[in-house]
Structure 1
Amino acid sequence: MKKEVTPLPDRVPIGQKLSFGAGHLVLNLLPGSLGIFMFFLLTAFGMDPFLAGLLGGLPRIFDAITDPIMGFISDNTNSRFGRRRPYIFVGAILSGILFAVLWQLDPDNSQNYNFWYFLILSMVFLIGNTMFATPLIGLGYEMTSDYNERTRLMAFSQILGQIAWMIVPWFWVIIASPDMLPITAEETARIAQLGLGTEEAAKMTLQSLQANGVRKLSVIVGLICIVLGLLPAIFCRGIDSARMENRKKITLKTLFSNIKDLGEGIKQVSKSKPFVKLCGATFLVFNGFQLVASFSFFIIVFYMFNGDYAAAGNWPAWFSTITAVVTAFLVIPIISWMSDRWGKRTAFVVSTFISIIGYILKWWGFDPDNPWLIFMPIPFMAFGLGGLFTLMMSMTADVCDLDELENGMPRKEGTFGAIYWWMVKLGQALALVLGGLVLKLVGFNQDAITQTADTMTNLRIADILIPSITAGIAIVVMWKYSLNEERAKEIKTELVKRRGKL
């Protein structure tokens, strides 16, 4: 069935798509880098796995609290630069600087000192990141009012966002490479003066090399995020907020009334049945995947190569990079096509089911006798996250229209985006904590050179079952999702009659 052509005024110019996509590259690069660097809390800075899990999870709970506040502020901001762009501009700068500062740890410090340093700085960093991320998500919801153009915009942004995942896996290689980010001669001499045995000296040298790599690479990542993060603030355009009614004043004098208004807005958002389904499905798919995200690395190193990092070489990096390439250039275009032909709900159900097949294939793909088989599940697995955010963000934009129809002005893209990512981050916090707990339960020993056969079998089972089960439940949640293209167009027509075209 041929779809209608998107009217020219509803199309997003390619320059704005590129700028919005650059912002999404930052949105992926920061958590991707954080996920890689968190591993080195264990090996480079000697952090206990459970404490490392807490450091990954607790700040996200704090972050989840600040998101709705930032969403409310950006929804009700009145400036000549728009509702979102000033915060994106400042947030991009703060995010880059604070990310670099966060990782200036020293392995010679006590575990207690590093724990509190990282915990406190994580919360400060996440405030800056919230200033960037929440308005950026809200801006994307309002860049077009066309049902299908929304999916194309989100698909484009997700493709550029996947570039981060093509780069990030190689951080493993860069951090541990003595040629790329070498330690200083003074540090080498200091280790030599300790009079350690060969094995102990080698271990300490590796630890110093990894710590040095994390510190230097975090600065590079921070600078990249500042440059790319400023682009959507400069070039992207949302709806004309000058004609938007009923916005709240945001001052110190109105603080208590603002809190009441925020609560009312959250209450209205939470009553949207289509939106609740989107949040529930996202919580399940993304965080089921996130809980086991690091397990593939451990399985490749400790199961396929028996703990030999040198033999494992670049296989973990290639696994993640190929996944990102397939997601960006194969899967996301297919999902966009499916959405255009079959509708967003059907596209989500089909893509999520295909991802479950991929998770199951990992049992045969991680073969010590044939490492090339690790690429076999990728084209199937990639449909999971590839379809998730492309479709869910587009569907959330449709829900914003429904909310305006039911609850009036002001439009609440920021609040919807904040609550949506609140669910993501709350689940991510839980996943990071539970990920460390699962490693403990299966018997993973971070200090051991090799792991037991039972440990690796249990880890492989968890790596498959957890995301498969959560994805299956998500399909059930979305099975009767009702906000389809026909209904979305009816809503858009009614809104234009009511308040004109923004």
Structure 2
Amino acid sequence: MTVTPRIRVGYALGSLATGAFATVPGLLLLPFLTDRLAVPAAVAGVLVLVPKAWDVAFNPIAGRISDRATHRLGPRRPFLLRGGLALAALFAVMFLPPLFGTPLGDGAWVAVSFLACATAFAFFQVPYVAMAAELTDDYHDRTRLIAWRVAALAIAILLCGAGAPLLRDSGGGYRVMALAVALLIVVGTLGVYIGTATAPVARVTPTGARFPELLAAVRSSRPFRLLLLTFVIQAVGIGTLLAGVDYLSRVVLQDPGAQTLLFAAFVAPALLVVPVWQVVGRRWGKRVGYQVASVLFAVSIGLVVFVPAMPVLVGLVGVAGVAYAGLQVFPMAMLPDIISAEERRAGVVRAGVFSGVWTAGETAGLALGPGVFGGLLGLGGYVSGGGVQGEGVRVAVVVGFSVVPAVLVGVTVGLLSFVEGERG
């Protein structure tokens, strides 16, 4: 069963919402806390991390709820609409100007708001990821489906990664930026909800297992666990890199405007090379393609530590961006294959639970990234509130932006050798 281009585009539009929420907090929430609200860097790193830890427990629950749901509009789509619209509203609230006048009070407000955002996002992201295993049962069509999704994700990251800092620095501040991103989340939500209205469901099987039994099934699926571990480790590295872009521009390059250029260099190649990675996956397999992308990313971003200056820096970030497209296409294309094999073996619907565990790992990994970077800033002696930064801070920023992502992505190449999924 294959899906039409119209449904493929509709499904891809959901990545405007997921890309916006995955990018902006990782990019600007830490600077918002340290420089706007004067929260100490180490404390800010914890505040960014703790709300996301909630997803580790809650995302599988959201998946189980969507697996059990029955609705005339389909089991997943109502969650997309409600979760996405709630996420947009809560995101705008999270970046309100200082309300309490103290770093502790304002930091707590951000942490609570972020927790609420994470909960709403779970009810959007988990059903959204689960749909990939249900829209088509064709091995190569899934790669095409995910390729379109990654292209939309690249657009969202480019718009948010380059545009959000511009809006913040243009005079509107964090509030205007948050409202614009919230609007993009609404567009993505309505796009996927309307665009998948006529989408087929490849398999409809009853869900009979209880939640603990489904978690046991997840633990028993070695390919899923290895792929998840790989993806989470890489998410930590990518989250660390994203958190470092703002600081690299301001502290190391001493050019805040460089942030937009770096983000464009990192994300824009994905719009061109996603079809190339699709060809690689078709010819040599998804796992091999994933390994090639991982090596290319680790080498290119690792070299930044030796040349943290323009214009070579932009070139290295651009090569890393080419690899980043592969890091998104292949794991998300392999996941539905593994889910399908497990569902056929068990005879029950498990897409939601598997997707819930997957997204829990992803969000935790992306949250750990800023937490790791915040810890490095603290060790380097970062002065919150815009003070003069010492040489230790410059070293911490470069290490967080380059060395940490390179090492984390590089160590996963061996893990992928043991990951096997459904073949076409």
| TM superposition score normalised by structure 2 | 0.93
Distance in 2 (CA, whole Å) between partners of 1:141 and 1:66 is: 21
Does residue 30 of structure 2 align to residue 27 of structure 1?
no
* Among candidates 47, 50, 59, match of residue 58 of structure 1: 50
Q: Contact 1:365–1:376 (CA<8 Å) still a contact in 2?
A: no
Residue in 1 that maps onto 2:157? 165
Residues 219 and 379 (structure 1), Cα distance of their counterparts in 2 relative to 1, 3 Å cut: closer
Among 223, 231, 246, the alignment partner of 1:282 is: 231
Task: Specify which of 464, 470, 483 is matched with residue 402 of structure 2.
Answer: 464
Pairing 1:381–2:323 present: no
**Which range is displaced more, 264-273 or 213-222?**
213-222
Counterparts of residues 306-455 of structure 1 (less than 5 Å): 312-330=255-273, 332-367=274-309, 371-409=310-348, 411-447=349-385, 449-455=387-393
- Gapped runs of 5+ residues in structure 2? none
1:78 aligns with 2:70: yes
Q: Would the aligned equivalents of 2:269 and 2:322 in 1 still touch at CA under 8 Å?
A: no
Cα deviation for residue 126 of structure 1 reads 1.9
Which residue pairs with 1:257 in the alignment? none
Residue 134 of structure 2, aligned match among 142, 147, 152: 142
Partner secondary structure for residue 41 of structure 1: helix
* Deviation larger for 395-404 or 446-455: 446-455
Per-residue Cα deviation, 1:370-406 (whole angstroms, up to 9, x for no partner): x222211123212443112211111110011111222
* Whole-angstrom distance in 2 between the partners of 1:448 and 1:166: 26
In the TM superposition, residue 337 of structure 1 has moved relative to its aligned partner by 1.1
Judge conservation of contact 1:17–1:156 (CA < 8 Å) in 2: yes
Partner amino acid, structure 1, of 2:382: F
Q: Which residue of 1 aligns with 2:167?
A: 174
**Contact 1:138/1:413 (8 A) holds in 2:** yes
Partner of 1:68: 60
From 82, 97, 100, the equivalent of 2:89 is 97
Are residue 155 (structure 1) and residue 156 (structure 2) matched? no
User: After the TM superposition, which residues 483-498 of structure 1 pair with which residues of structure 2 at under 5 Å, given as runs?
Assistant: 483=421, 485=423, 489=424
Number of residue-to-residue matches in the alignment: 421
**TM-aligned CA distance change 1:349 to 1:434, over 3 Å:** same
Pick closer, same or farther for the CA change 1:270–1:238 going to 2, 3 Å: farther
Q: Provide the C-alpha distance between the structure 2 equivalents of 1:62 and 1:289, rounded to a whole number of angstroms.
A: 20
SS at match of 1:376: helix
> In the aligned structure 1, how far is the partner of 2:285 from the partner of 2:320?
21
Displacement of 1:448: 5.5
Cα displacement (A) at 1:449: 4.4
TM-score, L = length of structure 1: 0.79
Equivalent pair of 2:3/2:199 in contact (CA under 8 Å): no
Secondary structure of 1:142's counterpart equals: helix
Q: Secondary structure at the match of 1:109?
A: coil
Q: SS at 2:411's partner residue? A: helix
Q: Write out aligned runs for 1:243-282 (5 A).
A: 244-247=204-207, 261-282=210-231
Superposed counterparts of 1:97-246, under 5 Å: 97-106=89-98, 109-168=101-160, 169-178=162-171, 181=172, 213-236=173-196, 237=198, 239-240=200-201, 244-246=204-206
Matched letter for residue 303 of structure 2: L
The sequence identity of aligned pairs, in percent, is 20
Q: How far apart, CA to CA, are the structure 2 residues paired with 1:132 and 1:296?
A: 27
Q: Is the CA contact (8 Å cut-off) linking 1:361 and 1:376 kept in structure 2?
A: no
Amino acid at match of 1:13: T
Per-residue deviation, 1:274: 0.8
Amino acid at match of 2:267: A
Separation in 2 of the partners of 1:245 and 1:478?
30
Cα deviation, residue 467, structure 1 = 1.6
Q: 1:108, CA displacement in angstroms? A: 5.8
Give the greater-gyration-radius structure (CA). 1
**Match runs of 1:36-47 below 5 Å:** 36-38=27-29, 39-47=31-39
Shift in Å, 1:438:
1.1
**RCO higher in 1 or 2 (8 Å CA, sep ≥ 6)?**
2
Aligned mates of 1:227, 1:101 — CA distance in 2: 18
Deviation digits for residues 301-337 of structure 1 (CA, Å, limit 9, x no counterpart): 22233xxxxxx1421111101211112222x222111
Distance 1:69 1:280 in 2: 20
C-alpha contact (below 8 Å) 2:164/2:181 kept by paired residues: no
Contact 1:91 1:128 (8 Å CA) reproduced: yes
Give the 3 Å change call, closer, same or farther, for CA 295–221 of structure 1 in structure 2.
Answer: closer
- Cα deviation, 1:226-261, whole Å, max 9, x if unaligned, reads 2321221222155548x834335xxxxxxxxxxx81
- Structure 2 residue matching 1:480: 3-state secondary structure: coil
The answer on whether the counterparts of 1:335 and 1:347 sit within 8 Å (CA) in structure 2 is yes
Distance 1:469 1:327, change over 3 A: same
Structure-2 separation of matches of 1:72 and 1:232: 21
Cα offset for 1:94? 0.8
Looking at structure 1, the residues matched to 113 and 373 of structure 2 have their Cα atoms a distance apart, in angstroms, of 22
Residue 346 of structure 1: CA displacement? 0.5
Q: Could you tell me how far apart the structure 1 residues matched to 2:390 and 2:308 are?
A: 17
1:281-313 deviations in Å (ceiling 9; x for gaps): 1011121221232223323322233xxxxxx14
Question: Hey, what does 1:198 align to over in structure 2?
Answer: none
In structure 2, distance between residues paired with 1:159 and 1:74: 26
Aligned-residue offset at 1:11: 2.5
**Inter-partner Cα distance in structure 2 for 1:281 and 1:132:** 23
Provide the secondary structure at the position in 2 that maps to 1:456.
helix
Structure 2: distance between partners of 1:363 and 1:222: 35
